[in-house]
Amino acid sequence: MNKTITMNLSGIIFHIEEDAYEMLNKYLSTIKGYFRDSEGRDEIMSDIESRIAEMLQEKVNQTKQAVLRMDVENVIAMMGKPEDFAGDNQHSDNNNEPYEKESRTAEGRRRRVFRDPDDKILGGVCSGIANYFNFDPLWLRAAFAVSFFVFGSGLLLYIILCIIIPKAKTTAEKLEMRGEKVDVNNIGKAVHDEFEDFKKNMKDFGNEVGSKENRDRIRTSTEKTADFLKDLFLNIAKVIGTIFSTILTIFAVIFMIILLGTAFGMNFIHISEMGQDHSYSIYDISDKLFPADMSIQYLIVGALLFFGIPLLGIIYAGIKLLFGIKNNNKIVKYTFNTLWLIGLGILIYVGMRTYQDCSVEATVKQKIELQQNDTLYLSVKNLESLVQLDEDGGSRYRVGNLNWSELDNSNDELFYEQPVRFDIEQSETDQFQLILSKYACGETKTAAQIRAKGITYGLSQTDSLIEFEPQFNTPKNDKWRGQEARLSLKMPLNKVVYLSKSMEHIIFNISNINQAIDYDMVNRRWIMTRQGLACIDCDNLQTVEVHDTVVPVHPSAPEAPPEVAPAPAPTSKKYFFSEPVTFK
């Protein structure tokens, strides 16, 4: 078995037998020695090695992993020997030993399509195709020009061809483009011709610019070109700057008008919801948000200075740019900066006072006594109030996620659309108990407790049916101070509750051993066990809805456990914030 060597030739790695490697190495050394005094020797050798590597790579396949001696002999025959095209027959016999075969056929000659970089106007497509078919590229260029102006498709076709046709980069590729044989002779001749053309062009250029008159003409032309480009870019930048400044000034004027309108009470937010249009002004917001002892004028002045001064600055700069005013008045600059800092200080003061008025939280808990039954049926009434406030004579406002409506201006109350939260916990006694927890914040603990106590909430009980209101009330004078109401039903062991469909609006993350989420708990009966709340009839519960109270009444429903009493007949009665229940 012959020894193989891993060889890297022109970036291509392949395996070659040792005797083939020695032959190839000797061949390359001979060529390198022949071209040692030639201009562009390195480029010639690089092109020759690239071509040889490409040809040897074609000799390798799945069944043949290494290059053999006969493969190298075939490549040498195709590339040719230096002494052949040089007419140099003075080499020793040792140098001629590997070259016993000689080929004068057209083997190795092939023609490929490339873009010609040496004869190009745009991308070299036309000259490359003309070289392939051996005709003058002028005719193809004329055809592309006609198709562009007449049919309009010439440019697109040219771009596509420019993308898919590769550029002839190496000397070997340029020879293939012209249909010439890629051998040592032609590669050396092509590189030599390129260097000769380059030297001739440089010599002609030197002769042209050698005289003082030509040098002055070139210098003047260069300076004029530079000045023209400079003026062109400056004018383009000036036009773009003027357009941008005009647009920015127009927007600044618009926002300034909006800011002034807001300061004077304009309803600057409009919302269309449920077929109704609603709007509010900054006075509506400030009346519910900022402390009672703080004048709204603080906020107005601070906002005008903080937002208005930058807008005035943009308008001022835009006018100067549009009318070419060069005057830089430092008094205006210092005045704007001072007024803006004053506005910032006022807004910081307003923000700190508002934060201070809600810096302490308090919770007030109240116990609601319930009529005791083995089973309680829970429902939510007046759900229409969540989506049809305007039918009750109120007006809806929306600020972020906070929804509220002034219902009856005579009772000075705010109506919060955010529902109360309802939870179920295990009772330590044998009695149902309902705990109402009310939360609020204030400047002091006492102030927070007063706000929490000001929250009113209504519910009603008829036998075993309890109907909850979906939301709570709080006095207008208490402002927006994080008011929240939560209901917790303390449930004894072996007692049952039925959660109607409407309860999904207020239940919140009720823990149960069935791992049911909130909306899966409704229309179900639940019993309190020592392990926690458990579902009695989570499968195939048949229900019917009566006055928004859902109770199991179908005759084919499974028989209830002994501890579950029959559902009471629901009472058809209109509730809207019933009188507060008695708390004990």
Confidence of residue 543 (pLDDT cuts 50, 70, 90): very low
Q: Does the residue 527 lie in any domain?
A: yes
**Higher-pLDDT residue of 253, 223:** 253
- For residues 323 and 268, membership in a common domain is answered with yes
Q: Position 492: which residue type? A: P
Domain total in the chain: 3
**What is the total residue count of the chain?**
584
Q: Do residues 571 and 465 make contact, with C-beta atoms less than 8 angstroms apart?
A: yes
- For residues 496 and 416, membership in a common domain is answered with yes
Residue 383 DSSP SS3:
helix
Q: What is the pLDDT of residue 203?
A: 61
Q: Does the residue 569 lie in any domain?
A: no
- For residues 340 and 396, membership in a common domain is answered with no
Residue 578 phi/psi, 5-degree rounding, is: -60, 165
Q: Do residues 482 and 550 make contact, with C-beta atoms less than 8 angstroms apart?
A: no
Q: Does the residue 113 lie in any domain?
A: no
pLDDT single digits (tens) 341-370: 999 999 898 888 888 888 888 999 988 888
CA distances from 245 to 117, 237, 259, 322, 500 (A): 46, 12, 21, 8, 62
Whether the model pTM is above 0.85 = no
Q: What is the pLDDT of residue 410?
A: 45
> Which of the listed residues 335, 356, 377 is the one where a domain comes to its end?
356
Q: Does the residue 275 lie in any domain?
A: yes
> Which of the listed residues 302, 335, 356 is the one where a domain comes to its end?
356
Does 99 have pLDDT greater than 50?
no
Q: Does the residue 336 lie in any domain?
A: yes
Q: Does the residue 517 lie in any domain?
A: yes
Residue 101 DSSP SS3:
coil
Give the orientation angle of helix 154-164 with respect to helix 125-133, to 10 degrees.
Answer: 70
C-alpha 268/C-alpha 307 separation (Å) is 15
Q: Does the residue 238 lie in any domain?
A: no
Confidence of residue 491 (pLDDT cuts 50, 70, 90): very high
Does 392 have pLDDT greater than 70?
no
Which residues, other chains included, contact 165 with Cβ-Cβ below 8 Å and sequence gap of 6+?
A: 113, 114, 115, 125, 128, 129
| Secondary structure of 328-362 as H, E, C letters | CCHHHHHHHHHHHHHHHHHHHHHHHHHHHCCCEEE
Q: Do residues 537 and 559 make contact, with C-beta atoms less than 8 angstroms apart?
A: no
Confidence of residue 579 (pLDDT cuts 50, 70, 90): very low
Average pLDDT over residues 263-287: 62
Q: Does the residue 265 lie in any domain?
A: yes
- For residues 348 and 389, membership in a common domain is answered with no
- For residues 366 and 345, membership in a common domain is answered with no
Does 185 have pLDDT greater than 50?
yes
- For residues 343 and 268, membership in a common domain is answered with yes
Which residues, other chains included, contact 195 with Cβ-Cβ below 8 Å and sequence gap of 6+?
A: 39, 40
Closest CA to 495 of 424, 570, 557, 584: 424
Average pLDDT over residues 242-254: 86
Domain range spanning residue 40?
4-96
pLDDT single digits (tens) 5-38: 888 888 888 888 888 888 888 888 887 877 777 7
- For residues 298 and 399, membership in a common domain is answered with no
- For residues 286 and 427, membership in a common domain is answered with no
- For residues 334 and 480, membership in a common domain is answered with no
- For residues 366 and 318, membership in a common domain is answered with no
Does 316 have pLDDT greater than 60?
yes
- For residues 499 and 397, membership in a common domain is answered with yes
Q: Do residues 581 and 466 make contact, with C-beta atoms less than 8 angstroms apart?
A: no
Q: What is the dihedral of CA 336, 342, 343, 344, to 10 degrees?
A: 110
- For residues 330 and 307, membership in a common domain is answered with yes
Average pLDDT over residues 192-221: 61
> Which of the listed residues 78, 96, 114 is the one where a domain comes to its end?
96
Q: Do residues 445 and 564 make contact, with C-beta atoms less than 8 angstroms apart?
A: no
Q: Do residues 503 and 379 make contact, with C-beta atoms less than 8 angstroms apart?
A: yes
Q: What is the pLDDT of residue 492?
A: 92
